[in-house]
Amino acid sequence: MSSEELLNKKLNGLKELILMEAEHERAKIIEMAKKEAEAVEKEEMEKIAKEEALILKEAEERAESIRRRQVMAAERERKTEFLRLQNQLLKEATTLLEDKLNHLREDPRYPEILVGLVLDAISVLEGVNAIKIRLSAQDAHLGEHVAQEVRKSLPNLKVSFDGEPAPILGGVWVYSEDEKRFVRADWKAQAQELSASLADRLLPLI
């Protein structure tokens, strides 16, 4: 084999070796790139999963917040409607009671009813020695009779009838003699008291 052939053989062998090394290096680079791509893809997928979880959590919290607001709004609406109906009922009850009380004047026992109201008022004005009674203009003619009946029941109490009509439809106003203490026992006050009692019974239902 000539020296030229030997040289060509060596060059070919070196060329093959270089190609093999290059192929090996290329395979290593491809493998590294693949691993890096997989790592990046994994990292990105984890980020996406975290973002999805965060978005889902925020959506759930928002939905829960909306639900709570809707429940609260419905509850407020229910209470508002109940209060409206309660106020309407109390207004109607007060009007009805006042009307019923006004018709007591038709009862033959009406003077005794007024006497009873005065006696109840006196129990509130505990400790007074003298009182004054005022009636409505319609009941003024009964004033002296009512005062006299009260004196019979409480002989130690000074009772006088004030002829100036009270601005009421019926019932009585009772004052201490010095007018520092005062009890309203007119129909409006009685109706309001009964309505307040009705309201107390309705309140627990809200």
Helix (H) or strand (E) holding 134: strand 130-135
Query: pLDDT: is 131 or 192 the higher one?
Result: 131
Question: 161-181: per-residue pLDDT in tens?
Answer: 999 999 988 899 999 988 889
What single letter denotes the amino acid at residue 173?
W
Q: Domains in the chain and their CATH numbers? A: 108-205 (3.30.2320.30)
Query: pLDDT: is 172 or 102 the higher one?
Result: 172
Helix (H) or strand (E) holding 171: strand 171-176
Question: 64-93: per-residue pLDDT in tens?
Answer: 888 888 888 888 888 888 778 877 877 777
pLDDT of residue 1: 60
pTM of the model: 0.55
| Residue 47: closest CA among 35, 36, 57, 55 | 55
**Tell me, what DSSP letter sits at residue 170?**
S
Query: What is the pLDDT confidence band of residue 186, given thresholds at 50, 70 and 90?
Result: confident
Highest mean pLDDT among 15-24, 52-61, 160-169: 160-169
Question: What does pLDDT average to over the chain?
Answer: 81
